A and B are shown apart, each in its own frame.
Chain A
Amino acid sequence: MKILVCMKAVPSTGQVQVDGQFRLQRDGAKLQWNIADEAALEAALTLKSAEDTVTVLTMGPAKLEDPLRELLARGADRAILVSDPAFAGADTVATAGTIAKAAEFLGDFDLILCGRRAIDGETGQTPAMVAAALGIPCISNAESVQLQNGAVFVARRLESGTVLLSVPCPVCVSMCEYTYTLRLPGIMGMRRAKSKTVELLDSAALGLSPQSCGLKGSLTKVISMDSKFPGLRNGPKETDLNAGTDALLAMLQEVVK
């Protein structure tokens, strides 16, 4: 079974800067793996048996090579860095197109696992779009994934509760945050990973023309961005217990109704 895990590196601090074209400043901020994507990788590593392979793929700046190698140390078999200045500023459609192209290039996968949403862009569209681009179904908001005789069993969290689904491969599943805890890299794993190479795919390798990817290939454009940083509100301080609780109850009624 060939499993592909798509991951995204997001700025790790609360403070985020925006550049001239309102693109999130990624190079200045320190990066961490998106929380839901870590759950997706752990799910893949848990499902993996001896003859299966887990390929982890991310689209982003060249400096992600080291963090990607670290994922090899955690148990991934191949690490793919899809990186090219032409990809910068891509919206979800352009991103999904590029990732789908990379997935096809790497050979057909039985299962694609992603995080359901990234904590920076928070659109949650990429998994479904990649599935559509590859012509396979997508099951979002999954809590757990199991494999039984070639079919994938997914427990999916909906507003009304949890639904257990079975679906044949190939299929794309997006995981909720905190459903799986990503295992730590081991000393042995890190030693093995040192010799492994992170494979680079750029627009040329994928046969993508600069017009069809990145900012130029995007179908939506951010035209303004304003920031709301933690401002001082200096609200009143109530020291009388009853008065305080009554005021709190009033605010609660107003919000909960």
Chain B
Amino acid sequence: MQVKSFMFDMIRSELEDVVGVENVSTSEVDRASYTVDYFWLSRMWQDRGAEGPKPDIIVRPGSSEEVSKVLKIANYYKIPVHTWGGGSGSQGGALPMAGGILLDMKRMNKLISIDLNSHSITAEAGMIFQQLEWYANEKGYSCMHIPSCLTCGTIGGALGHRGIGIFSSKYGKIDDQCMSMEVVLPNGDIINTLPVPKHAAGPDLNQIFIGSEGTLGIITKATFRLFELPKYMKHHAFLFKSMKDGLAAGRDIMQKTQPSIMRLFDEAETISIIKKIIGFEKRGAFLNLSVDGPDERLVDIQMEIIKEICAKYGAEDMGSEYGEKWYENRITFFYPDHIMDVPQMFGTMDTVADFGHVEEIYWAMKNAIESNFPGVRFIAHCSHWYGWGTMIYDRFIMDNPPEDKEEALRLHNQIWNTGVRAAMEHGGVINDHHGIGLKLSRLMKEQYGPAFQVMEGLKKSLDPNGIMNPYKLGL
């Protein structure tokens, strides 16, 4: 943002007039704290002592009206606006690559209402998702959106990149759980999507803004469905001889029953992460699942059917202890020392496909990565299941990446291109629930082909000056 300092201070005082002096900052310290999110490249860049992407000015809005006024100012002066919630996105979606204004949404963290009649809860989008869950739990309910970043990200962040929680196989993704939203458009207009998520009044505006990653507008409020906290939850684990048997069993389970959690680990991940965290010693494809609900009879019947299906595919019944242990440690996987960290290089290439293509995609990606990049390990598990298919949550791990940061960046992007293209060639979709952000922005046109013009049209009409989160989502 090459604006002379006099003009810079004029804009700054205009922004202070909107949100108050104490909610605007240009201090080095504030700017530095927005240069890293969970994206490996931004972490590696900092770890190597390099300077990350800094915003020029941080603005902390307190209401939708303030957001609207800030966007009007940004549009007038054509200053890029990057929206930052929890900052825990793994795709670089919130990184202020173009400098300009960094809109930190976390002041907007108020609970607006809980409607126990229609089982819904409404809150401002800057609230950390765990706070929303606690407000629901207080009344005996739950949003059943429990991702590993429950305590890290905000409501706006989860909606921004179409997040998912571990109970998604039964309770759906964030885009299934969201009923309606208030969004501030790039021109400053404050709009509301229709009050109910299912209707026949034209295309669904919710689904346009969910997953837009701050490029089409800023989500300021959202209403979600509430579920009664499940009284009964039972866990179980099985060991399949191969990933192939596991996938087939998973498909039948999803069609005959409704598990809330189901995770199938490939042989490589079973003998590494699963062994390390829950002490499971055997080889093969480990599967753990949970069934929950208000009625114990319904839970037990489903568990019986699941045991029959797994037996049919030659699985060994490992009892409930490992299943419980996985559930108890579901969050400890993500704390320092357990989760992978620099200096290792790693990436989580989740792709999603129908049952027909899932297995060939798994082998295509595994071979593409391991053959093209010696010294890179590939582990995978299927953690979110649908009636029509599942997703592969696969990771590549390189223990000692190149010392030079530019070389490490180049290699990282090459591995990503190879893996994602291998998935797309076999009918896989670029991402299931981590989002596109900066990391996969360059591959969106390859994924959509001519269909991408629809999104580009939307962008051109809603954000003619291109100020909203530039370089992200391919827009």
Q: Which residue on A lies nearest to B343, using beta carbons?
A: A28
A234 touches B (CB below 8 Å): yes
Hey, what's the 0/1 contact readout for B238-282 against A, CB within 8 Å counting as 1?
000000000000000000000000000000000000000001010
Give 4 closest A-B pairs by Cβ, nearest first: A232-B279, A234-B279, A234-B281, A232-B281
Q: Which residue on A lies nearest to B276, using beta carbons?
A: A232
Query: Which parts of A218-255 form the interface with B (CB within 8 Å)?
Result: 232, 234
Which A residues touch B279, using CB under 8 A? 232, 234
Hey, what's the 0/1 contact readout for A108-132 against B, CB within 8 Å counting as 1?
0000000000000000000000000
The smallest beta-carbon distance between A148 and chain B, in angstroms, is 51
Q: Which residue on B lies nearest to A234, using beta carbons?
A: B279
Which A residues touch B281, using CB under 8 A? 232, 234
Alpha-carbon distance A234/B278, docked complex (angstroms) = 11
> Residues of B within 8 Å of A, CB-based: how many?
2
Q: List 4 A-B contacts (CB under 8 A).
A: A232-B279, A232-B281, A234-B279, A234-B281
Alpha-carbon distance A18/B308, docked complex (angstroms) = 50
Hey, what's the 0/1 contact readout for B278-295 against A, CB within 8 Å counting as 1?
010100000000000000
The smallest beta-carbon distance between A17 and chain B, in angstroms, is 12
Taking Cβ atoms with an 8 Å cutoff, the residues of B that contact A are 279, 281
The smallest beta-carbon distance between B275 and chain A, in angstroms, is 8
Majority secondary structure, B binding face: loop
Which B residues touch A234, using CB under 8 A? 279, 281
Q: Which residue on B lies nearest to A233, using beta carbons?
A: B279
Alpha-carbon distance A213/B332, docked complex (angstroms) = 47
Alpha-carbon distance A232/B279, docked complex (angstroms) = 7
Alpha-carbon distance A234/B281, docked complex (angstroms) = 10
The smallest beta-carbon distance between B418 and chain A, in angstroms, is 30
The smallest beta-carbon distance between A12 and chain B, in angstroms, is 15
Which B residues touch A232, using CB under 8 A? 279, 281
Q: Which residue on B lies nearest to A15, using beta carbons?
A: B337
The smallest beta-carbon distance between B203 and chain A, in angstroms, is 54
The smallest beta-carbon distance between A146 and chain B, in angstroms, is 45
Alpha-carbon distance A232/B277, docked complex (angstroms) = 11
Alpha-carbon distance A180/B297, docked complex (angstroms) = 65
The smallest beta-carbon distance between B329 and chain A, in angstroms, is 14
Alpha-carbon distance A232/B281, docked complex (angstroms) = 10
The smallest beta-carbon distance between A204 and chain B, in angstroms, is 30
The smallest beta-carbon distance between A20 and chain B, in angstroms, is 14
The smallest beta-carbon distance between B273 and chain A, in angstroms, is 14
Query: Which parts of A131-183 form the interface with B (CB within 8 Å)?
Result: none
The smallest beta-carbon distance between A87 and chain B, in angstroms, is 25
The smallest beta-carbon distance between A53 and chain B, in angstroms, is 38
Hey, what's the 0/1 contact readout for A63-79 against B, CB within 8 Å counting as 1?
00000000000000000
Q: Which residue on A lies nearest to B279, using beta carbons?
A: A232
Q: Which residue on B lies nearest to A28, using beta carbons?
A: B343
The smallest beta-carbon distance between B432 and chain A, in angstroms, is 32
Alpha-carbon distance A234/B279, docked complex (angstroms) = 8
The smallest beta-carbon distance between A65 and chain B, in angstroms, is 19
Alpha-carbon distance A234/B280, docked complex (angstroms) = 10
Alpha-carbon distance A4/B279, docked complex (angstroms) = 50
Alpha-carbon distance A234/B325, docked complex (angstroms) = 14
Alpha-carbon distance A6/B268, docked complex (angstroms) = 49
The smallest beta-carbon distance between B371 and chain A, in angstroms, is 29
Alpha-carbon distance A208/B281, docked complex (angstroms) = 54
The smallest beta-carbon distance between B309 and chain A, in angstroms, is 30
The smallest beta-carbon distance between B401 and chain A, in angstroms, is 15
Query: Which parts of A31-58 form the interface with B (CB within 8 Å)?
Result: none
Alpha-carbon distance A149/B279, docked complex (angstroms) = 63
Q: Which residue on A lies nearest to B275, using beta carbons?
A: A232
Alpha-carbon distance A36/B155, docked complex (angstroms) = 52
Alpha-carbon distance A232/B276, docked complex (angstroms) = 9
The smallest beta-carbon distance between A18 and chain B, in angstroms, is 15
The smallest beta-carbon distance between B400 and chain A, in angstroms, is 12
Alpha-carbon distance A135/B281, docked complex (angstroms) = 58
Alpha-carbon distance A234/B275, docked complex (angstroms) = 12
Alpha-carbon distance A176/B281, docked complex (angstroms) = 43
Q: Which residue on A lies nearest to B337, using beta carbons?
A: A15
The smallest beta-carbon distance between A239 and chain B, in angstroms, is 15
The smallest beta-carbon distance between B271 and chain A, in angstroms, is 13
The smallest beta-carbon distance between A16 and chain B, in angstroms, is 15
Alpha-carbon distance A92/B228, docked complex (angstroms) = 68
Alpha-carbon distance A234/B322, docked complex (angstroms) = 14
The smallest beta-carbon distance between A29 and chain B, in angstroms, is 13
The smallest beta-carbon distance between B472 and chain A, in angstroms, is 35
The smallest beta-carbon distance between B199 and chain A, in angstroms, is 54
The smallest beta-carbon distance between A233 and chain B, in angstroms, is 10
Alpha-carbon distance A128/B281, docked complex (angstroms) = 48
Alpha-carbon distance A29/B273, docked complex (angstroms) = 24
The smallest beta-carbon distance between B277 and chain A, in angstroms, is 11
The smallest beta-carbon distance between B270 and chain A, in angstroms, is 15
Alpha-carbon distance A163/B279, docked complex (angstroms) = 50
Alpha-carbon distance A232/B274, docked complex (angstroms) = 13
Alpha-carbon distance A108/B279, docked complex (angstroms) = 58
The smallest beta-carbon distance between A236 and chain B, in angstroms, is 14
Alpha-carbon distance A143/B279, docked complex (angstroms) = 44
The smallest beta-carbon distance between B158 and chain A, in angstroms, is 35
The smallest beta-carbon distance between B321 and chain A, in angstroms, is 12
The smallest beta-carbon distance between B54 and chain A, in angstroms, is 27
The smallest beta-carbon distance between A231 and chain B, in angstroms, is 10
The smallest beta-carbon distance between A25 and chain B, in angstroms, is 13
Alpha-carbon distance A35/B279, docked complex (angstroms) = 34
Alpha-carbon distance A232/B325, docked complex (angstroms) = 15
Alpha-carbon distance A232/B275, docked complex (angstroms) = 10
The smallest beta-carbon distance between B344 and chain A, in angstroms, is 13
The smallest beta-carbon distance between A178 and chain B, in angstroms, is 28
The smallest beta-carbon distance between B318 and chain A, in angstroms, is 15
